[in-house]
Amino acid sequence: MLRLTRFLSHPLFAVCAGGVAALGQAPFGLWPLSLLAFAVAVWIWKDSPTPRGAAVRGWAFGFGYFVVALSWLVNPFMVEPLKTAWMIPFALLFMCGGLALLWALASFAAKRFGLGAIGLVALWALAEFGRGYLFTGFPWALPAYIWLDTPPAHLVAWVGPYGLTTLTLLVSALLARAAVLRTLVARLSAVAVLAVLFGTGAWIAARPMAADSAAMVRVVQPNAPQALKWDPRYIPIFFDRALEMSDPEGADLVIWPETAIAPILDGAQAELRAINDRVAPAQTVAGVRRVEGYRAYNSAVVINPQGEVGQVYDKHHLVPFGEYIPFPRLLSALGFSTFTSEEGYGFSAGEGPALMDFGALGTALPLICYEAIFPRDLRGTARPDWLLHMTNDAWFGTFSGPQQSLAQSRFRAIEMGLPMVRAANTGISAVIDAHGEMRGSIPLGQAGAFTAALPVASPPTVYARTNELPFLLLIVMLFLLAATNCWRRKNRETD
């Protein structure tokens, strides 16, 4: 019994519990395990006698969570394993350990200032909010995403992903409280809040949707493995494959994924003519790199029915150490050129969000790869009619990375009440309606294409109109409740 007690208080147990918490993320979707594991994290925190001990256990839990949830991070380093595989342990340690520091800070502060489990939830949620902004942000695998394909997922239409993360952690805290107190009231409180999440989410999901528009889109998935994508011997093969699948079949717009056209835009005249010959009179939007002066851009371009380049969008939210690297020549010598354009010199950021006008299909907000994980990147323009996500998830491997990327795209659609068309190089390409449901898709790791009706947008959601205000109100309420509980505890101790 003593050995078991020691193990439960050991940071290694917290690491294991964090790993279990990550099993709620795609592709596992084991949300009950996640809730229980987050409850264990709260229990571990309460059992910590000192702020320092709470921080250590909070970090250990976060480290276990991120190692499992972000296990796909090893895949980019395996594209050229002889050059970069040696960096895998360091990448996981620094990335997962660094993100876990935010959870450690929340655990330390809640214990140091005696804020109780409610205060811990508020600080933990703020840590996740900060994760979406610090150092350009990385809000991947938010606790809110464990609710994919369940009614609570639809709450993001009201409170956004950070608000749903807060509610998720609150339910777990109530479960921990019920386990410790073992009273009927504590148990009923946890069950009641969970029931409210499911009931409210189901009510939001039941809102009627307009019939699909008459506009049709065709999504092309060439399935070019990352290790071969830029090989001169294979570039024509992948291009011809995409071209063969681009017969519009009644579609008004054909969509190719990120960097689907290999040559730089100014040198891609032959490819543009071939696309136009195949697709006209429909339009095409495709991913391509372009150069302007001494700057390179990761772009999406519209090819009009005349075979000319019309609208151009340049990706503005770039991937650190993926699309740009400080001191590129130095780090290129260490092997980082694998992850960047043109031997480590990287891309420049575009001016910001911009709409593309597709005529009868309405306006679309283009999102290139990484941009779709940021709720804030869906702002800054007039409200579009739909979202256009062009990505190359081949970097993420063939298991959890592409599945989680798709899950986040589906949450963006629910949050904004907007349909999304998603073209991914190796998958998963999909047409997603404003409820986050997939109307058509191409499986991961397969070449293919499909034509589907473009779903219609729903009215602007509460979250679309208020941004993070509901989340911030939740945090204020939790801090007020935590402060009240703290004041009561001190009064009882004084008495």
Residues known to be catalytic:
258, 315, 369
* Phi, psi of 235, rounded to the nearest 5 degrees: -55, -45
Taking the C-alpha atoms of residue 383 and residue 364, their distance in angstroms, rounded to an integer, is 9
Contact 312, 350 (CB under 8 A): no
Taking the C-alpha atoms of residue 287 and residue 309, their distance in angstroms, rounded to an integer, is 12
N residues, the chain: 495
- Please report, in angstroms and rounded to a whole number, the separation of the first and last CA atoms in the chain: 36
Query: What single string gives the DSSP state of each residue in 402-449?
Result: HHHHHHHHHHHHHHHT--EEEEESSS-EEEE-TTS-EEEEE-TT--EE
- Which residues contact residue 220 at a Cβ distance below 8 angstroms, ignoring those fewer than 6 apart? 242, 245, 246, 254, 255, 256, 257, 260, 423, 429, 449
Task: Scan for tokens 């520091």, then name that residue.
Answer: 101
The token pair at 258 is: 């990120």
Classified as helix, coil or strand, 84 is helix
Query: What single string gives the DSSP state of each residue in 195-207?
Result: HHHHHHHHHHHTS
* Phi, psi of 65, rounded to the nearest 5 degrees: -65, -50
- Which residues contact residue 343 at a Cβ distance below 8 angstroms, ignoring those fewer than 6 apart? 332, 337
| CA 78 to mean position of chain CA atoms | 22
349, exposed or middle or buried, with CB in 10 Å at 0-12, 13-18, 19+? middle
Strand 448-453 to strand 309-314: parallel, antiparallel, or no bridges (unpaired)? unpaired
Task: Scan for tokens 């001494």, then name that residue.
Answer: 294
Task: Scan for tokens 């779903």, then name that residue.
Answer: 455
10 Å Cβ neighbour count for 141?
Answer: 25
* Phi, psi of 367, rounded to the nearest 5 degrees: -130, 125
